[in-house]
Amino acid sequence: MSTTLGNIREKTRGEARKELLERHPSLDFLFDQMDNYMGNLIKRMTDIKTTNDKDLHFYPLIVTFVRLHYSIVDFLLSCDVIEASVLLRKQIEILARFLEVEKDMKQDRVPNVRAFGESHIRRLYGELSEIVHYAKEENYHLLGYENETNPVEPTAIQVMSKYDGRVLDTISNHCEVFDHFFKLMLNYQSRLIAGYITEEEDHWYNMQFVPTGKRIGLKYFC
């Protein structure tokens, strides 16, 4: 029986993941910790009682963000940078919509990242848009172009997943978007959950999340 393209894809994704974690073993811990945070957040939200129309908007936005997180991590571990970037861009739009609802801004259009004010995440959204839409030719390199004699000059597209150290930049972007979400959720839970205190999550953020990002060398933490 001939090997299908899907079989090959799964094999190459597994190989990319293995090499990534061998080179950066702390990534496994970082993603596990982020996954645990998401799980605990959703568990706490089951006790939240919606009190107004805003809350009815917030809950689906939060759940969608969490669901995308797991898909993004799957793509990142397989070094699928473009696929991860598409979903990261979507997450930023979800955060923008969250802020628009919070500020009573109009919602009958695509979320506007101007809701972030002068935050760096607006520039990140632009960078991700360039990747998603291939606005610059250098973004083609994210498909795994290879040239042994001159890596600056691409010669062939890598159709299947393959380890590429540049995935760390996208992992750093993922952590930046997660950071914005984390801080939004601190405020949101403080408003709606009786007796909620941020001490435990603050401790995790400052003693595990940030130090692990620094240990890996992710640019967002440097």
Do the beta carbons of residue 66 and residue 80 sit within 8 Å?
Answer: no
Terminal C-alpha separation, the chain:
50
* Token duo for residue 97: 């919509």
* Token duo for residue 178: 């997660």
CA-to-CA distance for 213 and 39, rounded, in angstroms?
20
pLDDT value of position 80: 93
Q: Which residue has the tokens 């290879």?
A: 146
Q: Which residue has the tokens 């042994």?
A: 148
- State the 10-residue block means of pLDDT for the chain, 222 residues long: 76 94 97 95 79 78 96 96 95 94 78 87 93 77 63 66 91 97 91 82 95 97 94
* Burial class (CB within 10 angstroms; exposed 0-12, middle 13-18, buried 19+) of 167: buried
* Burial class (CB within 10 angstroms; exposed 0-12, middle 13-18, buried 19+) of 80: buried
DSSP 157: -
Do the beta carbons of residue 129 and residue 139 sit within 8 Å?
Answer: no
Q: What is the 3-state secondary structure (H, E, C) of 27-78?
A: HHHHHHHHHHHHHHHHHHHCCCCCCCHHHHHHHHHHHHHHHHHHHHHHHHHC
Annotate 42-53 with b (16+ C-beta within 10 A) or e (fewer): eeebeebeeeee
CA 209, 211, 216, 218 dihedral sign is positive
Give residue 42's region: left, alpha or beta (phi > 0; psi -120 to 50): alpha
Domains contained in the chain, number = 1
Do the beta carbons of residue 34 and residue 69 sit within 8 Å?
Answer: yes
Q: Which domain holds residue 25?
A: 5-221
